[in-house]
Structure formats: C-alpha cells, structure tokens
Amino acid sequence: MGGLAGGEDKDSFISVVAQCSAGLPEGKPRYLMGVGYPLDMVLCSALGMDMYDCVYPTRTARFGTALVPPRVAPGGILRVRQAQYKDDMGPLDPECDCIVCRGDGGEGYSRAFLHYAMSGNGGGQEPMGGQLISYHNIAYQMRLMREMRGAILRGGDAFPTFVTQFVLDSFDGRPSAVPSWVRTALMHAGIHFE
C-alpha cells in the first residue's frame, strides 16, 4: 500500500490504513510504504499491516535524532545535539544491544560522543555521528518489530496489551493526552482503550 504518509492529517491516514487493510487478503504479507514513525508502525500493525519502509530513521539521524523507547525520552525522540547531552556518558538507549549502544566489546558510543560528533565542532558535522545514529535507529525499529511479532505469537491479550502500553508510554502514561486519531486507530483495531 502506498501513497500515504505524504502530509495528510493523521485522522485521514488512519482511516485509509484501516479501510485498505480490511480489504486486503488474509494470510498475505501487507506492506505499507513510507511509514517509519514508531507509533505509526505500532498502530498500523494493530490494523493488520506487516512490513514498512521509510527514510525516517536515517533522515532524522542525520540531524542528530535517535529513536528510543518512549520511557527513555519523551515521545521516543532523543536529540543528541541538545546541550544536556554534552557530558552524558550513557548510551542512547540503556536497553539497546546494538553496536552503537553496546559496541562489539561491551563499550559503545556515549551520548556525549554523539553530541560532539553531531554538533559541528571543528567546522563541520562529522558524518560518523549520523551514520552511528542511523545504525541505532534501524536497530531500534527492528527490535520494535520483533517485540510486536513476539506479542502476536504469544496470542491472547499479549498484543493488545503491548499496543496499549506503547501508546500510554508515548504520551507519558497519561490517557488524557492520547489524541483522537490514536484512539480511532485503536477502535478500528478492536483494542479497548480507556
């Protein structure tokens, strides 16, 4: 499925995904082009989509933005160029085991190093910073997809619970902050949300 994620409002986006997904054959892979925001991927998976591709994880990395679980940074976005990361020796995501966060021998790249690499010190942005964050962002999305797949395979309430928790985490645990388009997606997916 293509032609979405081109700037339309989220209510329209969710309605089209729900309608198209409902009309696609059961038991066949469902591919949605241009969707890369983690929340969109979780909601569209709940609506029946299986695969995604998007420039978002690499494009946003070039600007120093790392994708992390919402419990690590507000909205699941960690902007390493911000001054608060200048001396932060922690990894992008303490739970991530990618080579950027953990390294080959257990020592990865710190937020402080990535801050320096992305800040333009020395007259220009270091390409290595964007490459490292790109690697991490793709690893994060792959982990997210594995977690969703695992929840689906466990059956029962495991996947609806996963989706609900991800939504709540994305909005700081405040159900009142969850926008109507997210609630609409959950309704179409048959996931009860308070």
pLDDT tens column, 30-87: 999 999 999 999 999 999 999 999 999 999 999 999 999 998 998 899 999 999 999 9
Out of 3-17, 115-129, 142-156, pick the least confident: 115-129
pLDDT at residue number 124: 54
pLDDT for 168 beyond 90: yes
Which residue, 119, 127, 141, 137, is CA-closest to 60? 137
> What mean pLDDT, rounded, does the chain reach?
92
Name the one residue in this structure whose structure tokens are 């309430």.
157
Residues in the chain: 194
Secondary structure (3-state) at 67: strand
Cα 174 to Cα 66, 78, 147: the distances in Å are 23, 20, 23
pLDDT at residue number 194: 76
Q: Are 44 and 19 in contact (CB under 8 A)?
A: no
Secondary structure (3-state) at 158: helix
pLDDT for 3 beyond 80: no
pLDDT for 125 beyond 80: no
